[in-house]
Amino acid sequence: MNSKKLKNVEWWILILAIGLCAVGFVALYSATQSNNGDELKKQITWFIVSIVFMVIVSFVDYKVLVKISPILYGLSILLLIAVLFTKSRNGASSWFNIGPVSIQPAEIAKFSVILFLAYVVTWVQVSGKEEINKIWKLAIVLAVVALPVLLIILQPDFGTAMAYVFALIMVLFVAGIDKKYIIIATICVVVGIPLMYQFVLPEHAKARIDVFLNPESDPRGSGYNIIQSKLAIGSGELTGMGLLNGNQTQLGYLSPKTTDFIFSVIGEEMGFIVSAVVVIAYVFFINKVLYVAKTAKDDYGSYIAAGVAGVFFFHMTENVGMTMGLLPITGVPLLFVSYGGSSMLTSFLYVGILLNISANRKKTIYLK
């Protein structure tokens, strides 16, 4: 990468990513003292591995990655099928266990699906931007995401599946989808949600929604986690109770405190100020990703960055919202912050390709 390209790189994306990881390390340090910090050690190891992959992706021309995306997409689909035959863990068949390492293919597959989505949308629009609004071509684009989403729902993992949907929405919006489809989709969602609740969702998913609406209806069962999370965040007040001093965190009332409820740990022990900084950092991060989408030199770059922005927006909104009782609990991690090797690796693959896209952009075209 030459000096001219280095000047174009959106370094704030990397700075914010590492800053959020640092907050996550501190929270994990406090949350894992009862088990000698094993999860923190693993997270740091994954962080180092992820940085290596990020550097590799940042130096490989992203258009090459897009061109091989059909192969990557096919491999991802095979992994999503294969994981359905693994042993269930916490009610879901979502992980491959390789010795001490657990890999979640649904997380890693997001990267290849976004690349392939950019490839397909660009192919659809080869004759003009308006081609995306032809029903049969739009159906092809929707099918690209529908297949992995269906396989992930079968695991079942509705939270991760929704991240794919948000990536699709952002890509279609940037691609110039007609407003009539947006209106139709909105109507389908309004009508479809109650139908899905009644006839599609499994009982445990219905229970999460019921508890979200009224946690106190089952304070010792399904509502327990939401209640404890809200207590933790509320007790942190402005500056927090201090590391290793949070009642809900240290006494084991938050579960799982290193993944789904890591934001609750931050709220309780570091307080409102640090929690607000984390949210602001995410908003700033997503804004920078959207800027990369706007200033990318080609459609490939724009669509990839838009898809990544959709993933981060969903993860941030859902994780923070569910810990405060504003959204149903779905088991979605707070990227960069929550414990998890697969999510850490995938997050830095996103960072790598965003640095790649921004390095190759031509800002002057968009700033006139």
User: How are the residues of the chain apportioned to helix, strand and coil, as percentages rounded to the nearest 5?
Assistant: 75, 0, 25
118-127, 216-225, 261-270, 283-292: least confident range: 216-225
pTM, full prediction: 0.91
By C-alpha distance, which of 165, 223, 154 is closest to 192?
165
Q: Per-residue confidence at 73, pLDDT binned at 50, 70, 90?
A: very high
Q: Per-residue confidence at 366, pLDDT binned at 50, 70, 90?
A: very low
**Rounded Cα distance, 236 and 164, in Å:** 33
**Rounded Cα distance, 9 and 355, in Å:** 6
Q: Which residues of 286-321 are buried (b: 16+ CB within 10 A; e: fewer)?
A: bebbbbbbebbbebbbbbbbbbbbbbbbbbbbbbbb
Side-chain-side CA neighbours of 176 within 13 Å: the count stands at 12
In the predicted model, is pLDDT for residue 64 greater than 90? yes
**Rounded Cα distance, 106 and 311, in Å:** 13
Side-chain-side CA neighbours of 366 within 13 Å: the count stands at 13
| Residue range 261-302, pLDDT digits in tens | 999 999 999 999 999 999 999 999 999 999 999 999 999 999
| Amino acid present at 179 | K
Q: Per-residue confidence at 368, pLDDT binned at 50, 70, 90?
A: very low
- Please check whether residue 93 is in contact with residue 155, taking contact to mean a CB–CB distance below 8 angstroms: yes
- Please check whether residue 160 is in contact with residue 149, taking contact to mean a CB–CB distance below 8 angstroms: no
